[in-house]
Structure 1
Amino acid sequence: MDTDGKTIVWFRRDLRIDDNPALAAAARDGSVLPVFIWCPQEEGQFYPGRVSRWWLKQSLIHLQQSLESLGAKLILIKARSTLKALLECISAVGATKIAYNHLYGIVDNCSIDDLGLENEMEKASNALLGRGWSPGWSNADKALSAFVEENLIDYSKERATVAGNTTSLFSPYLHFGEMSVRRVFQCVRMKQLLWAKEGNCVGQESVSLFLRAIGFREYSRYICFNYPFTHERSLLSNLKYFPWKADQAHFKAWRQGRTGYPLVDAGMRELWATGWMHNRIRVIVSGFFVKFLLLPWQWGMKYFWDTLLDSDLETDILGWQYISGSLPDGHELERLDSPQVQGFKFDPEGEYVRQWLPELARMPSEWIHHPWDAPPSVLRSAGVELGLNYPVPIVDIDLARERLTEALLIMREREAVARAEKSDGTDEVGDNSDCIDNLVIPKVVLKEKAPCSAASSHDQQVPSMQNFKNGFSSRKRLLPLEEEQHQRNMQISNSEGETSKIDDDLCSTAVSSSAKKQATCSMTSFSVPQSCSVSSDLKQQSHVEIDAETSSGKQVG
């Protein structure tokens, strides 16, 4: 062991003490200098959204405190170049080694606040996140233990229910490396062996399904490592011939949760309010985006990146490619699932829809997933006025099916022509960059408005056409030990002022984080397929201006 040398432990997406091979190896070799480098310029178009940056900040604070308790100070560096910062750090401290974990395969020390992960306008909304989430590696450990001991056994029965605590909620912990996949696998596998010995078939099925979900996450790493172009182009080449519709109005309605399909709208409003959605809801809203609205899947994936608390590039790529039919084992592109049918399947009593669409709170369960079919007397009793306080469907299901069928025919005709022109055949998998136009994904920015002075517990909620007094609901996020404290918080928040009146044209829930970055940051943008139908003024203007949310006066990314 070299007792004289100092080893730099470079933390990235492994913000934990437990089960950290790099940290363990460095500690065995002598003196340890933990370092975290934040380089916004290198994030490019994948600069993290507001809620993701909030999690990162809280996780770093937790890690910093944990390391200090062990006698090691976490060095935080904000830099323009990660490599240059590492070299300067080596020179400054005389380090002889750098230890770091693979993600797949004089130096100025700054404070957490100096990293710029959270600005003043974001703090009020971010405070709400702390009611339901507890970042940090030790909290990840508690969440793992609680899930394995209390919830895992029912996973096979409850995982498809979109209301309530039905999934592990591990995703943000896994993304930031506060929890290792190896540790999750070990704990769950040990439980499986115990249940096998006891003959607990339900428990064994739950473990198998859960490990399958974890396996998909690792599969996403495999896909992105071997096919690095998949963040902007389909894995299978057929989608480069698909006639996407770059409809800005449809994109905005989807973001706002105003498509007229309750389950889709509830999911999008939950995303805005909490930064999280059940996996089943992610599949439903992304399928609607691609197959009902025919919008380019890259747009939806980038919006997820900007708004999800657990935004994870590899997982998001796999999900959107899967739903778009561009994976060999993914959804058939022809498959069009009705949100109405999905609603009765995964939210049979309408509990989830009522939670996030207060304007439909009084709709009977029989009609809540298709209010457009409800008799006028039912709508009147529920206080629902279609087209006024809740939108009519943005596109009829039958029309959506016809448009999808027509688009598929166009895609196959174009593909056949292209294949006939190639003497050596057409590759199924490959980089299709030569067939991609330079049309950028629309950046969503706020119109300038005087900031609203009103602040309330509703700040982070998507406003409906009517004000409502229900408190911010984050119960799906809470660990069991936090339920009692949450109830006390809700009593306090419900006594605060009501939300201010909102405009008829609701603000967009998509404020692209890349549009809010400092001018020095990279502004690289997505491209969408060449066959995308776009108006001429869209080509000239890649920024979409939207109204600011008058109930909070905050930017959200």
Structure 2
Amino acid sequence: MTTKADDRPVILWFRQDLRLADNPALNHAAETGRPVLPVYILDQGTRVRPMGAASLWWLDKSLRALDGSLRDRGSRLILRRGDSEAELQRLIAETGADAVFMNRLFEPEAWERDADIAHGLAADGVECKGYNGSLLCRPGEVLNGSDAPYKVFTPFLKALLAQAKAPPHTTGPTRIDTPTEAASDALSGWGLHPTNPDWSRGFDWTAGETGATEALSAFVSGGLKSYSRGRDRPGEAATSRLSPHLHFGEISPWRAVKSVQEAADARAVPKSEADKFVAEIGWREFSAHLLHAFPQIADRAFRPEYDAMPWRSDLEALEAWKLGRTGYPMVDAGMRELWATGFMHNRVRMVAASFLIKHLLIDWREGEAWFWDTLVDADRASNVQNWQWVAGSGADASPYFRIFNPVTQGQKFDGDGRYVRRWVPELGRLPDRWLHSPWTAPSEVLRDAGVQLGKTYPRPIVDHETARARALAALKTVSAERSSSGD
């Protein structure tokens, strides 16, 4: 295609930034005054980890929302599928584009892929311009006194908040001029929504930029007011539910931070509650910075001695955990919530993860892979960091010897049983006293509640005290490895 230099379009490559507001790549592309080609490429190359099924469900809805927003501004979303570099080169050849604008991805494989793409395109005279549209600070900008990445969260958060500067809020251009000749796939042809069966029927989410804004508004006016307490109680609607919106970039983390801080400044919520939420955004940031600085932690322990852990191979127990059939109601409720909704409450994620790692002594990577496939908010850095936190092998992690008791966790954080009764309805008639440990209930109580252990609800697949002893014995292997390495 032959075009005059001033008429050449620029490519706006969407990835995990599926929004128009507060989108630096979009703003810079529009400032060129040239036609803009908004494109999303479903990467089917071999260099980056494919999305899980639940993430693909979300992507389908988010891309539809983004396309609608672009059409409202006179544009449209161009869809391509395949190897990212090959698809960009094909679009360049078709349109004469000579620049690519994108918000950077910081996961190791995507970072390296994008660098190679930028170098390859530069050799062909096509410039790639990258921006930070997903984090408060780019990885590498928040360093300790030795100019090294932080490995402990609290000083990292302090340094992050001292250094991070909010960019001005932008709504994006009111009109985006997009050439009409560029071909696009039909989203329906990608098959992102599940069929035969449609396991997503219980997914109660509004993906897209509007959904993200609505979720933030609902949180600030509701759950934020008692966030520090409510976030630990899965039976209450107290969490922000922003994590999938943040992962797909439907809302900027700065928008979330500024909204809660403004609510605190207006005394609509206690400042301590706003600070607690900002700290959770900071943990997300910490995870991203760690994975970028230490890419090996994607599939290996941050603390190398933990790779000596004598993991068990128990496919039957692993399957029981995935299906929510462990016999521990708090764990089972979480795993069933995950399957039904694509989400699991944060407190229960810790309990369920601890059960897999420490009660069953199954490799954390098995759990991470299951969460990657089933969570709508599956984020590489957060997923890896949180699993390693529970396993004791991560940076600033919970000690391995801290083993959650799923019974006492349920009693403490779901004392009235609202959460368990919702997701494990076969136990719904059990009194609170027995709900989190049905195997301890007298036979007449079980009978009156219609519970038959081993039939209507499983007996525990492992005894807590026995599992705890086994986990602590396994820890000695790690201690021996640490001693032999001289640590």
TM-score by length of structure 1 reads 0.71
Q: 1:175 to 1:328 in 2, by over 3 A?
A: closer
Partner amino acid, structure 2, of 1:13: Q
Aligned sequence identity (%): 41
Residue 18 of structure 2: aligned partner: 15
- Say which is worse superposed, 112-121 or 401-410, in terms of deviation: 112-121
Report if the CA contact (8 A) 2:200-2:340 is conserved. Answer: no
What are structure 1's unaligned runs of at least 5 residues?
A: 420-424, 427-557
Shift of 1:284: 0.5
Q: What per-residue deviation string (whole Å, max 9, x for no partner) do you get for residues 459-489 of structure 1? A: xxxxxxxxxxxxxxxxxxxxxxxxxxxxxxx
2:200 to 126, 145, 159: 126
> In structure 2, which of residues 63, 84, 87 is the aligned counterpart of residue 85 of structure 1?
87
Give the whole-Å Cα distance in 2 for the aligned partners of 1:54 and 1:146.
Answer: 23
Q: State the alpha-carbon separation in 1 of the partners of residues 322 and 200 from structure 2.
A: 20
Residue 190 (1) aligns with residue 262 (2): yes
Q: Quick check: 2:224–2:238 contact (8 Å CA) kept in 1? A: no
What SS does structure 2 have at the residue aligned with 1:17?
coil
Contact 1:77–1:115 (CA under 8 A) maintained in structure 2: no
1:265 aligned to which of 332, 337, 353: 332
Distance 1:334 1:246 in 2: 21
Q: Give the alignment of 1:17-96 within 5 angstroms.
A: 17-30=20-33, 31-42=35-46, 46-79=49-82, 81-96=83-98
Could you tell me how far apart the structure 2 residues matched to 1:414 and 1:151 are? 45
1:327-338 counterparts in 2 under 5 A?
327-338=394-405
The yes-or-no answer on 1:383 pairing with 2:463 is no
> 2:118 is matched with which residue?
none
What secondary structure sits across from 2:38 in the alignment?
strand
- In the TM superposition, 1:380-459 aligns within 5 A as 380-417=447-484, 419=485, 425=486
Between the aligned partners of 1:325 and 1:149, the Cα distance in structure 2 is 36
- Displacement of 1:108: 4.1
- How many equivalent residue pairs? 409
2:10 alignment partner, SS class: strand
1:254 and 2:321 matched: yes
Q: What is the rounded CA distance, in whole Å, between the counterparts of 1:128 and 1:119 in structure 2?
A: 12
What SS does structure 2 have at the residue aligned with 1:366? helix
Q: What's the counterpart of residue 97 of structure 1?
A: 99
The DSSP-based 3-state class of the residue aligned with 2:266 is: helix
Give the C-alpha shift of residue 221 in structure 1: 0.4
The answer to whether the aligner puts 1:294 opposite 2:297 as a matched pair is no
Distance 1:168 1:265, change over 3 A: same
CA distance in 1, matches of 2:455, 2:7: 73
Determine if the alignment matches structure 1 residue 317 to structure 2 residue 384: yes
Residue of structure 2 in register with 1:220 after alignment: 287
SS at match of 2:28: helix
1:524 corresponding residue in structure 2: none
The one-letter code matched in structure 2 to 1:266 is A
Separation in 1 of the partners of 2:353 and 2:101?
A: 39
Q: How far did residue 107 of structure 1 move?
A: 6.3
Partner of 1:534: none
Question: Is 2:29–2:36's contact at 8 Å kept on the other side of the alignment?
Answer: yes
Distance 1:116 1:174 in 2: 24
2: CA distance, partners of 1:411 / 1:19: 46
* Residue identity in the other structure for 2:355: F
Deviates more, 1:355-364 or 1:109-118: 109-118
Deviation at 1:407, TM superposition (A): 0.9
SS at match of 1:335: coil
Partner of 2:184: 109
2:375 to 308, 323, 327: 308
Matched with 1:282 is 349
- In 2, distance between residues paired with 1:232 and 1:107? 39
| 1:173 aligned residue | 245
Residue pair 1:88, 1:107 contacting (<8 A) in 2 also: no
Partner Cα separation in structure 2 for residue 219 and residue 328 of structure 1: 10
Partner of 2:433: helix, strand, or coil?
A: coil
The 8 Å contact of residues 15 and 63 in structure 1, kept in 2 or not, is answered as: yes
- Residues 3 and 29 of structure 1 are in contact (CA less than 8 Å); yes or no, is this contact kept in structure 2? no
Deviations 1:406-452 (A, max 9, x none): 111233224433x2xxxxx55xxxxxxxxxxxxxxxxxxxxxxxxxx
Per-residue deviation at 1:256? Answer: 1.2
Please give the alpha-carbon distance, in whole angstroms, between the structure 2 residues aligned to 1:346 and 1:42: 43
Show the counterpart of 2:132: none
Compute the displacement of 1:402 (Å): 1.2
Partner Cα distance (1:414, 1:369) in 2: 37
**CA distance in 1 between partners of 2:238 and 2:315 (Å):** 34
Q: Following the alignment from structure 2 to structure 1, what is the Cα–Cα distance between the partners of residues 184 and 482?
A: 55
State the Cα deviation string for residues 508-548 of structure 1 (Å, max 9, x = none): xxxxxxxxxxxxxxxxxxxxxxxxxxxxxxxxxxxxxxxxx
The amino acid of 2:40's aligned partner reads: F
Give the letter for the 1:66 counterpart. Answer: S
Out of 198, 210, 213, the residue aligned to residue 277 of structure 2 is: 210
Letter of the 1:37 counterpart: I
Cα distance in structure 2, aligned partners of 1:350 and 1:249: 28
Q: CA separation in 1, counterparts of 2:194 and 2:220?
A: 36
Which residue type is aligned with residue 60 of structure 1?
Answer: L
- Following superposition, the deviation at residue 278 of structure 1 comes to 0.6
- Cα RMSD, aligned residues only: 1.7
Higher relative contact order (CA 8 A, sep 6+): 1
Matched with 1:492 is: none
What's 1:543 paired with? Answer: none
Is 1:162 aligned to residue 164 of structure 2? no
Distance 1:312 1:141 in 2: 20
Range that drifts further, 154-163 or 8-17 = 154-163
